[in-house]
Amino acid sequence: MLVAVAGTKDSPGVTTVAFGLACLWRARGPVLLVEADPDGGVLAARLGIPQEPGLATLAAAGRHEVSASLLASHAQAGAVAAALIVAPSAPSHARAALRAVADGLSRSIAGLVGTTVVIDLGRLDAESPSLPLAGVAGQILFLTRPTLEGADALAVRLAELEGVTDLRSKARIVTVGEGPYSGQELAQVLTVTHMGHLPIAGGAEALWSATDGAHIPRRPLLRALESLANRFERSELSEQSETPQPLRMGAPNRADPASDLGVRASHRRRHRAAPSPTGL
Ligand SMILES: Nc1ncnc2c1ncn2[C@@H]1O[C@H](COP(=O)(O)OP(=O)(O)O)[C@@H](O)[C@H]1O
Ligand SMILES: [Mg+2]
């Protein structure tokens, strides 16, 4: 499962949602959270962990090819035991790292098998150096306020992205806070599925100090994140059941991008033989 979370200029909480989903899904298996925010990272400071290893060291080490083992060696074990690739906090450094490694990193995460990947894209627009990462996500959750300003900001962003790639078809709406419109109304106007609603409420801080995803206090924001996580999982399952499975008559299984790449598969084997402390 590969999900990205993105915002526009008027949407709060992208990192909170990406981190919250990673914490909640950690209970089911390995999770990798990639902080790919061109405006600079906040996770290291919030979690009290160093900025390196992370996106900057990964960019320096693997500009073209990011093997699974290289990826694991630049991930840190996060507070809730999800593996984290944190971005440098300086926007110029974050952008430079993303420009260098987003292509290789996106191929690498698309080839991970059995790991849930959550990508924090920050504010996504058609010039973002994170576009390659958005391109490999199965679905992109766009946070928006259910206001005219929020709807307009998202409509403009989606129109821009339509011109660049097929990202629009992966876009889903998550409404945040109160406003005159319901999620369903926005969904109709923008022709994008509404995946859930988050209140503006206390409780986000509990995430940053959590040591165990299963025991984060279920205050309103966390309960809403849990509903969103469940809804998302159901939508992934229904998409999988609707997607025709590839024939296995000697042809490589395209559902597993690593299966026809001997090099990457051998990386995976090596990696499995020596699991990293990040649990990837
Ligand atoms: N739904 C919410 N309700 C209340 N506070 C929130 C909510 N989402 C995020 N926050 C708080 O707002 C601040 C910014 O959130 P963050 O997720 O970093 O936003 P972004 O990534 O969009 O810049 C953080 O202090 C976070 O705890
Ligand atoms: Mg953020």
The finding on whether 176 has its CB within 6 A of some atom of ligand 1 is: yes
Residue 22's Cα: distance from chain center in Å?
Answer: 8
12 Cα–ligand 2 center, Å: 8
Task: Tell me if 192 sits within 8 A of 158, measured CB to CB.
Answer: yes
- Cα angle vertex 151, ends 147, 156, to 5°? 150
Write down the pLDDT at residue 9: 83
* CB under 5 Å of ion ligand 2: residues: 14-15
16 Cα–ligand 1 center, Å: 6
Element (H, E) at 194: strand 193-198
Q: What is the number of the ligand closest to the CA of 175?
A: 1
Q: Which residue from 73, 65, 54, 26 is spatially nearest to 277, judged by alpha carbons?
A: 73
12 Cα–ligand 1 center, Å: 5
> By percentage, how much of the chain surpasses pLDDT 90?
62
Q: What is the pLDDT of residues 134-148, one digit of tens each?
A: 999 999 999 999 999
Global pTM value = 0.86
Give CA separation, 255 vs 110, 111, 167, in Å.
10, 10, 19
